[in-house]
Amino acid sequence: MADIMLRVEELEAALPSMTQRRALTRRSVDWAALEADLGTALPSDFRSLAETYPVLVVDDFLVVSVPRPGAEAAWASGCRDESEILQDLYEMGDTEDYVPYPEPGGLLCWAESNEGDGFYWRMSSPDPDAWPVVVRGANGDWSEFPVGAVEFLAGVYRRTIDVPGMPRSFPSDDPKVLGLSDRID
Protein backbone atom coordinates (compact mmCIF):
# COMPACT_ATOMS: atom_id res chain seq x y z
CA MET A 1 0.00 0.00 0.00
CA ALA A 2 2.89 2.36 0.71
CA ASP A 3 4.06 1.92 -2.90
CA ILE A 4 0.59 2.85 -4.14
CA MET A 5 0.48 6.00 -1.99
CA LEU A 6 3.94 6.87 -3.29
CA ARG A 7 2.49 6.91 -6.81
CA VAL A 8 -0.24 9.32 -5.71
CA GLU A 9 2.44 11.47 -4.06
CA GLU A 10 4.43 11.42 -7.33
CA LEU A 11 1.34 12.66 -9.15
CA GLU A 12 0.87 15.38 -6.53
CA ALA A 13 4.50 16.43 -7.07
CA ALA A 14 3.90 16.62 -10.83
CA LEU A 15 0.58 18.45 -10.37
CA PRO A 16 0.97 20.51 -7.18
CA SER A 17 -2.33 22.34 -7.70
CA MET A 18 -4.22 19.07 -7.27
CA THR A 19 -3.42 18.96 -3.56
CA GLN A 20 -6.00 21.69 -2.91
CA ARG A 21 -8.60 19.12 -4.07
CA ARG A 22 -7.43 16.40 -1.65
CA ALA A 23 -10.26 15.08 0.52
CA LEU A 24 -9.89 15.82 4.23
CA THR A 25 -10.88 12.23 5.06
CA ARG A 26 -10.72 9.03 3.06
CA ARG A 27 -13.51 8.92 0.47
CA SER A 28 -15.51 5.77 1.16
CA VAL A 29 -16.11 4.28 -2.27
CA ASP A 30 -17.97 0.97 -2.09
CA TRP A 31 -15.45 -0.98 -4.14
CA ALA A 32 -17.20 -4.31 -3.59
CA ALA A 33 -20.46 -2.99 -5.09
CA LEU A 34 -18.71 -1.14 -7.91
CA GLU A 35 -16.51 -4.06 -8.88
CA ALA A 36 -19.47 -6.48 -8.70
CA ASP A 37 -21.40 -4.15 -11.00
CA LEU A 38 -18.48 -3.93 -13.45
CA GLY A 39 -17.59 -7.60 -13.17
CA THR A 40 -13.94 -6.83 -12.49
CA ALA A 41 -11.59 -5.50 -9.85
CA LEU A 42 -9.88 -2.17 -10.53
CA PRO A 43 -6.19 -1.22 -10.19
CA SER A 44 -5.03 -0.37 -6.68
CA ASP A 45 -3.34 2.89 -7.72
CA PHE A 46 -6.64 4.13 -9.15
CA ARG A 47 -8.51 2.98 -6.05
CA SER A 48 -6.04 4.95 -3.91
CA LEU A 49 -6.48 8.03 -6.10
CA ALA A 50 -10.28 7.75 -5.87
CA GLU A 51 -10.14 7.40 -2.09
CA THR A 52 -8.07 10.58 -1.89
CA TYR A 53 -9.51 12.80 -4.64
CA PRO A 54 -12.80 13.58 -6.40
CA VAL A 55 -13.01 13.87 -10.19
CA LEU A 56 -10.08 15.98 -11.39
CA VAL A 57 -10.07 18.32 -14.37
CA VAL A 58 -6.58 19.28 -15.53
CA ASP A 59 -6.27 22.52 -17.53
CA ASP A 60 -9.97 22.28 -18.45
CA PHE A 61 -8.82 19.55 -20.86
CA LEU A 62 -8.34 16.18 -19.18
CA VAL A 63 -11.08 14.77 -16.95
CA VAL A 64 -9.93 11.98 -14.64
CA SER A 65 -13.12 10.21 -13.70
CA VAL A 66 -13.26 8.55 -10.29
CA PRO A 67 -16.29 6.98 -8.62
CA ARG A 68 -18.14 9.10 -6.09
CA PRO A 69 -19.16 7.45 -2.81
CA GLY A 70 -22.83 6.58 -3.10
CA ALA A 71 -22.77 6.90 -6.90
CA GLU A 72 -20.74 3.82 -7.78
CA ALA A 73 -23.50 2.48 -10.06
CA ALA A 74 -23.43 5.72 -12.07
CA TRP A 75 -19.66 5.39 -12.56
CA ALA A 76 -20.06 1.78 -13.73
CA SER A 77 -22.85 2.87 -16.08
CA GLY A 78 -20.55 5.55 -17.51
CA CYS A 79 -17.93 2.87 -18.16
CA ARG A 80 -20.49 0.82 -20.08
CA ASP A 81 -21.52 3.91 -22.10
CA GLU A 82 -17.89 4.54 -23.05
CA SER A 83 -17.55 0.88 -24.03
CA GLU A 84 -20.52 1.25 -26.39
CA ILE A 85 -18.78 4.17 -28.10
CA LEU A 86 -15.61 2.11 -28.40
CA GLN A 87 -17.67 -0.82 -29.74
CA ASP A 88 -18.92 1.43 -32.55
CA LEU A 89 -15.33 2.40 -33.39
CA TYR A 90 -14.32 -1.26 -33.27
CA GLU A 91 -17.09 -2.23 -35.69
CA MET A 92 -15.89 0.50 -38.07
CA GLY A 93 -12.32 -0.84 -37.87
CA ASP A 94 -11.01 2.25 -36.06
CA THR A 95 -9.48 0.66 -32.95
CA GLU A 96 -6.27 -0.95 -34.25
CA ASP A 97 -7.65 -4.28 -33.02
CA TYR A 98 -8.22 -3.06 -29.47
CA VAL A 99 -11.54 -4.39 -28.23
CA PRO A 100 -13.97 -2.77 -25.79
CA TYR A 101 -14.68 -3.95 -22.27
CA PRO A 102 -16.11 -6.50 -21.35
CA GLU A 103 -14.34 -8.50 -24.08
CA PRO A 104 -11.22 -10.39 -22.89
CA GLY A 105 -8.33 -7.92 -23.03
CA GLY A 106 -10.86 -5.13 -23.56
CA LEU A 107 -10.42 -1.42 -22.90
CA LEU A 108 -12.03 0.18 -19.86
CA CYS A 109 -12.15 4.00 -19.82
CA TRP A 110 -10.88 5.98 -16.80
CA ALA A 111 -10.36 9.46 -18.30
CA GLU A 112 -11.19 11.55 -21.35
CA SER A 113 -10.35 14.91 -22.83
CA ASN A 114 -12.68 17.66 -23.93
CA GLU A 115 -11.40 17.06 -27.47
CA GLY A 116 -12.53 13.43 -27.64
CA ASP A 117 -9.36 11.63 -26.57
CA GLY A 118 -9.91 8.49 -24.49
CA PHE A 119 -7.70 7.07 -21.74
CA TYR A 120 -8.19 3.38 -20.97
CA TRP A 121 -6.81 0.37 -19.19
CA ARG A 122 -6.21 -2.66 -21.40
CA MET A 123 -7.56 -5.48 -19.24
CA SER A 124 -4.80 -7.83 -20.37
CA SER A 125 -4.19 -9.66 -17.10
CA PRO A 126 -6.21 -11.14 -14.26
CA ASP A 127 -4.21 -8.72 -12.06
CA PRO A 128 -5.61 -5.20 -12.59
CA ASP A 129 -2.33 -3.71 -11.33
CA ALA A 130 -0.67 -5.11 -14.46
CA TRP A 131 -3.06 -3.39 -16.89
CA PRO A 132 -1.28 -0.96 -19.23
CA VAL A 133 -2.72 2.43 -20.19
CA VAL A 134 -3.96 2.88 -23.76
CA VAL A 135 -4.68 6.31 -25.23
CA ARG A 136 -6.98 6.88 -28.18
CA GLY A 137 -6.30 10.25 -29.67
CA ALA A 138 -9.25 12.11 -31.20
CA ASN A 139 -7.29 12.15 -34.45
CA GLY A 140 -7.07 8.32 -34.56
CA ASP A 141 -3.66 7.83 -32.92
CA TRP A 142 -3.40 4.87 -30.53
CA SER A 143 -0.61 4.51 -27.96
CA GLU A 144 0.02 1.99 -25.20
CA PHE A 145 2.10 2.58 -22.07
CA PRO A 146 3.28 -0.19 -19.71
CA VAL A 147 2.26 1.70 -16.55
CA GLY A 148 -0.86 2.24 -14.46
CA ALA A 149 -3.10 5.30 -14.62
CA VAL A 150 -1.51 7.25 -11.75
CA GLU A 151 2.05 6.59 -12.92
CA PHE A 152 0.99 7.51 -16.45
CA LEU A 153 -0.44 10.85 -15.32
CA ALA A 154 2.63 11.61 -13.21
CA GLY A 155 4.85 10.82 -16.21
CA VAL A 156 2.81 13.00 -18.56
CA TYR A 157 2.90 16.00 -16.22
CA ARG A 158 6.58 15.47 -15.35
CA ARG A 159 7.12 15.30 -19.12
CA THR A 160 8.76 11.86 -19.01
CA ILE A 161 5.89 10.31 -21.00
CA ASP A 162 5.00 11.78 -24.38
CA VAL A 163 1.59 10.96 -25.82
CA PRO A 164 1.54 11.10 -29.63
CA GLY A 165 -1.36 12.92 -31.24
CA MET A 166 -2.20 15.17 -28.31
CA PRO A 167 -2.54 18.94 -28.74
CA ARG A 168 0.70 20.93 -28.46
CA SER A 169 -0.62 22.48 -25.26
CA PHE A 170 -0.80 19.05 -23.55
CA PRO A 171 0.61 19.10 -21.00
CA SER A 172 0.73 22.81 -20.33
CA ASP A 173 3.74 24.48 -18.74
CA ASP A 174 1.82 25.24 -15.55
CA PRO A 175 -1.07 22.76 -15.29
CA LYS A 176 -3.99 23.72 -13.07
CA VAL A 177 -6.28 21.17 -11.48
CA LEU A 178 -9.92 22.02 -10.97
CA GLY A 179 -12.81 20.11 -9.58
CA LEU A 180 -15.64 19.12 -11.87
CA SER A 181 -17.82 21.91 -10.44
CA ASP A 182 -15.14 24.49 -11.31
CA ARG A 183 -14.95 23.46 -14.95
CA ILE A 184 -15.41 26.23 -17.50
CA ASP A 185 -17.86 25.18 -20.22
pLDDT tops 70 at residue 8 = yes
Say if pTM beats, i.e. exceeds, 0.85: yes
Structural domains of the chain in order of their starting residue, each with its CATH number: 2-182 (3.40.1580)
**DSSP conformation class of 16:** G
What is the mean pLDDT of the segment spanning 140-156? 95
- The count of other CB atoms within 10 Å of the CB of residue 72 is 20
Can you tell me the distance from the alpha carbon of 51 to that of 38, in angstroms, rounded to the nearest whole number? 18
Which tens digit of pLDDT belongs to each residue from 12-70?
A: 999 999 999 998 888 999 999 999 999 999 999 999 999 999 999 999 899 999 999 99
pLDDT of residue 139: 86
Query: Which residues, 6+ apart, have CB-to-CB distance to 98 below 8 Å?
Result: 86, 90, 106, 107, 120, 122, 134, 136, 142
Of residues 130 and 93, more confidently modeled: 130
